[in-house]
Structure 1
Amino acid sequence: MKKDIYRVFSSNMIKMVVTFLSAFIVPMVLSVVSYGYLKSYQFYASYIGITHLGFCDGIYLFYGGKNERSLSKKDISVQWSSLLLYEVVIATIFILFGILGKNLIVICVGATIVPNVIFTFYSYIFQAVGDFTNYTLIINIYSVINMLINLILVLLKVRDYRIYMILYVFIETVPFFVGTYLFAKKDWVTFTKFNPKIFKKFIKAGILLMIGNFAYSIFIGIDKWFIKFTLPIKDFSMFSFASQMLTVVNMFITPIAMTLYSNISKRQDHYFEIQIKKVLVCILMVIPLTIYALEFVIYNFMTRYIQAISITSILLITQIFLSLNVAVFVNLYKAYKKQKEYFIRLMASLIVAIVIDIIIVFIKPNTMSFAFSTMISCFIWLLLNLKYFPYMQPEKKEKVYVFGLLLIYLLTLYVDNIFFKLVIYLLSYLLMTKQLMSEQWKYFTKYVKRYL
């Protein structure tokens, strides 16, 4: 498991650096409004996953924990062909709709559908059987192409967001072609015809999880939907920029979340799950240190986005709660085949978020209020998950550790000097981790000494 986490971590480190650099250099060239339109395309494209109706989720659940040698080449080829033909039809409808409406954003979203969904199919099988070597290879190639194209556009000082959008569609096709090549090497992509029985089978198996994932996408993006339709494009741009800054958090969480499902499915060991959660908590509480670095960069090089600093400060706390939910509890629901319970608790949290956002709209809509709304709903979701898995309830020391560090982090927001902020939080983190999370502290120090 450690090798898998390290492999995915390294790959996501590269991807994060590319995304992080793009998040800074692209806004330096584009105007705030143009950046808002570009992020609109990426925001809409993030919901493409709903088009497969749970087929990929059914595949993920079906192959979870299986040995790659036991996989049937013929079955995977039929599954791949059925999904590909279906998605081509859906993409064609979107593209035609965009052409008729003369909407380039819709056209680009349509052109992204097939490569996006088919790559999801590839990645889910690789993750389910534990083949993280091929998975990370695809991500690394994607990251390199992404970086090169963004650098070329920025160096040429291209200021038309439409050019970025069209080339981003090309970037999204890279994992599709690489994944197809890797599948072809395993004889997994022999083209057959559309099989309605196979299609229905996996939709039935994964529809609930897909609805849950779609609800999750709505849940984490509900603030953006309200901002998109109640505030000017500049506010959407500012909020999107703040959200983009948190890609560094995903760099740490994604490797753990991806590798946990397979391991939890095989072990189903409560002690293992508790220890993973505690280690993750310690990792997450390091993340606030990134805010101070972001502040320095924005204040010195991107003054037009100073407003995004306060938004990012709130979204970071949201990300801590969200990461615990996604990396630990969502995997627990999947591993123990509790999709229905997962969906119920997620929907309850989503309803809370929508109600709060509607209230904000009627009182006084602004980006900070919507950010607070998302933080509250993420925390409620965490409480509901803890209630369903009572053995995962944090001990008193763990509660003091988390809320104590969050309080210190919030207090540092009122300190003007960035260096002092960093020192105060870093010393607090080291002291509280050693005293309140002693087992994890010993594990980390032992691990560090081994590699020094």
Structure 2
Amino acid sequence: MATSLKKGMLYVMIANLINLGFNLITNFVLPKELSVENYAMIKTFQLYISYAGLFHFGFVDGMYLKYGGKSVNNIKKDDLNTNLSTLRIFQILVTFICTIVAICLKNPLFICFSLAVMPINLGNYFKQLYQATGEFGLYGKIMNANTILIFIANMMWIFIFRVDSGIYFLVSNVVVYFLIWIVLEINCRRMFKDTRYKIFTFSVKEFINNIRDGILLTVGNLSSVLLTSMDRWFVKALLDTMAFAQYSFAVSMENFMNVAVTPVTITLYNFFCREKNVDRIKKIRNQVMIFAAVIVSSAFPARFILETYLRKYLNSSRVMFLLFASQLFYIIIKSIYVNLYKAQGKQRTYFIKLTLVIVMGFLFNIVCFKIYPAKESFAIGTLLSAIFWYFICFPDFKWLDYKIRELIYPFVQVIAFLVCGFIFNAIIGILLYIVCTVVSSLILLPEETKGMVTMVKDKVSSFR
């Protein structure tokens, strides 16, 4: 089981490293070459796209729970075939309705979003299927194809056609979503070679069961998206386009951490579906805490790039450090607690707690903005929301009890991180933060720290 977990993480890590390379270029070239207004338009579209999952109404997450922990070879092909065909028909109808509404509103951004709903949700169906069944190699290929094709399109518009209009970039994104979906459908058809491939078969039973089982998880996931994007909605509504562009740039830098975080969050769900040993889960939780403390240090290289390459977005630096600090808690929440909610069938509890977090997040943002009306206030609200969510998870998993040193560790790291990020430049800041992290990890989590160092040494030795 441990070997399978490490292998799965490695697959997703490789996929994310490839994604990181292309996304790094994209997220620095776009704000550098495009006007603030057009960059803000692209980031607005990406904000809308994060809510596309709402339009499958829980169907994809129902499938995720249905097949979670199983091998793709052990799933009845006829059952999966009917399941997929039902979603396909459903999404064609949803996209048609949304597009008609968008055309009536005469909003190009909404039209692009409406057209993207179907290919995004069907593409996510395959990603969720491969994630739930441990087919991380296929999952990684989908991620890479999407990122590389969008990267190629973006670079063509900028360096070949010399375009400074956001709508071109949105249209090319939609085309990529359709291409990925079509390729996935062709590949899936090969999977069903021993049975009749159903293109337009609709099962009312599958439709009802998937939505009934997955709706709370979908609402919970989208509520999580709402929570983490709430700050951008406030910035967009209350501040100017420059503030939104700078804030969105900070969020883009924060998203780079996904290259290391996603392998953990994705593979641990499949792992928790099988693992019942409490001590082992506690050990993984503490290792994730150390991992979170290390990975947020990527904010310092991002700041160095701002200081030397993108000075017009330098004012987003404080926002970026506050958002990265919130990830110290979000990484633990998403890697451990959210996966445990899913694996143990506690979707209703997860949804209730997340709803409470959203309400508190809304209040945190309002109060912080009233006290200090600037974009940094919404980042502070995000950090407070993450801390609140972290604590209200504890009662649902009392068996994951914390020792005092384990409890204070993430707060020691947040203080050290913000002090080093706010007071010092990028180079001095990262050196001081590394020292603080090493010292606090050895003092507060010595066993887990030594274990992770040993594991890294073993991996390095295996490559020699």
Into which bin does the TM-score normalised by the smaller protein fall? over 0.9
Query: Which of 114, 123, 126 is the aligned partner of 2:127?
Result: 123
With 126-135 and 150-159 compared, the bigger mean Cα shift is at: 150-159
How far apart in 2 are the matches of 1:124 and 1:308? 34
The alignment partner of 1:337 has SS state of: coil
Query: Which of 177, 182, 185 is the aligned partner of 1:177?
Result: 182
Aligned length: 452
Equivalent residue number for residue 77 of structure 1:
81
How far apart in 2 are the matches of 1:414 and 1:49? 36
Equivalent residue number for residue 450 of structure 2:
442
Equivalent residue number for residue 341 of structure 1:
349
Query: Which of 384, 390, 395 is the aligned partner of 1:387?
Result: 395
Equivalent residue number for residue 118 of structure 2:
114
The alignment partner of 1:266 has SS state of: coil
Distance apart, 1:406 and its partner CA: 2.0
Equivalent residue number for residue 140 of structure 2:
136
Query: Which of 316, 329, 352 is the aligned partner of 1:321?
Result: 329
Alignment of 1:2-13 (within 5 A): 2-13=6-17
How far apart in 2 are the matches of 1:158 and 1:17? 23
With 347-356 and 439-448 compared, the bigger mean Cα shift is at: 439-448
The alignment partner of 1:110 has SS state of: helix
Q: Deviations 1:114-159 (Å, cap 9, x if unpaired)? A: 1100011111111111111211122222222222222222323321
Query: Which of 216, 226, 229 is the aligned partner of 1:218?
Result: 226
How far apart in 2 are the matches of 1:346 and 1:178? 35
Where has structure 1 moved over 4 Å in runs of 4 or more?
A: 360-364
The alignment partner of 1:121 has SS state of: helix
2:293 aligned with 1:285, yes or no?
yes
Letter in 2 for 1:406: V
Q: Deviations 1:135-193 (Å, cap 9, x if unpaired)? A: 11222222222222222223233211111111111222343123223211111853142
Query: Which of 396, 399, 405 is the aligned partner of 2:404?
Result: 396
Instruction: Tell me, yes or no, if the aligned pair for 1:18 and 1:146 is still in contact at 8 Å.
Output: no
How far apart in 1 are the matches of 2:296 and 2:130? 32
Equivalent residue number for residue 153 of structure 1:
157
Structure 1 residue runs of 5 or longer lacking an equivalent are none
2:32 aligned with 1:24, yes or no?
no
Instruction: Tell me, yes or no, if the aligned pair for 2:40 and 2:245 is still in contact at 8 Å.
Output: yes
Distance apart, 1:110 and its partner CA: 0.9
Instruction: Tell me, yes or no, if the aligned pair for 2:360 and 2:385 is still in contact at 8 Å.
Output: yes
Alignment of 1:333-372 (within 5 A): 333-360=341-368, 365-372=373-380
Letter in 2 for 1:9: M
Letter in 2 for 1:67: S
Structure 2 residue runs of 5 or longer lacking an equivalent are none
How far apart in 1 are the matches of 2:397 and 2:19? 33
Query: Which of 164, 167, 170 is the aligned partner of 2:169?
Result: 164
Distance apart, 1:252 and its partner CA: 1.2
Query: Which of 52, 55, 58 is the aligned partner of 2:59?
Result: 55
Distance apart, 1:361 and its partner CA: 5.5
Letter in 2 for 1:332: L
How far apart in 2 are the matches of 1:51 and 1:320? 31
Equivalent residue number for residue 15 of structure 1:
19
How far apart in 1 are the matches of 2:425 and 2:221? 41
Q: Deviations 1:264-308 (Å, cap 9, x if unpaired)? A: 011232222211111111111112321221111111111110111
Instruction: Tell me, yes or no, if the aligned pair for 1:231 and 1:365 is still in contact at 8 Å.
Output: no
Q: Deviations 1:65-113 (Å, cap 9, x if unpaired)? A: 1122221111111111111111111111222222222211011001111
Equivalent residue number for residue 246 of structure 1:
254
Cα RMSD (Å) of the superposition? Answer: 1.7
The alignment partner of 1:394 has SS state of: coil
Distance apart, 1:423 and its partner CA: 1.4
Summarize the Cα distance change of 1:401–1:362 in structure 2 as closer, same or farther, 3 Å threshold.
Answer: closer
Summarize the Cα distance change of 1:233–1:266 in structure 2 as closer, same or farther, 3 Å threshold.
Answer: same
How far apart in 2 are the matches of 1:9 and 1:394? 29
Summarize the Cα distance change of 1:403–1:362 in structure 2 as closer, same or farther, 3 Å threshold.
Answer: closer
Query: Which of 21, 39, 42 is the aligned partner of 1:38?
Result: 42
Equivalent residue number for residue 198 of structure 1:
206
With 41-50 and 423-432 compared, the bigger mean Cα shift is at: 423-432
Summarize the Cα distance change of 1:87–1:415 in structure 2 as closer, same or farther, 3 Å threshold.
Answer: same
2:312 aligned with 1:304, yes or no?
yes
The alignment partner of 1:245 has SS state of: helix
How far apart in 1 are the matches of 2:321 and 2:453? 29
Summarize the Cα distance change of 1:358–1:405 in structure 2 as closer, same or farther, 3 Å threshold.
Answer: closer
Letter in 1 for 2:185: T
Instruction: Tell me, yes or no, if the aligned pair for 1:387 and 1:393 is still in contact at 8 Å.
Output: no
Equivalent residue number for residue 97 of structure 2:
93
Q: Deviations 1:190-224 (Å, cap 9, x if unpaired)? A: 31422222101111111111121121121111111
The alignment partner of 1:222 has SS state of: helix
Among all aligned residue pairs of Structure 1 and Structure 2, give the percentage whose two residues are the same amino acid: 26
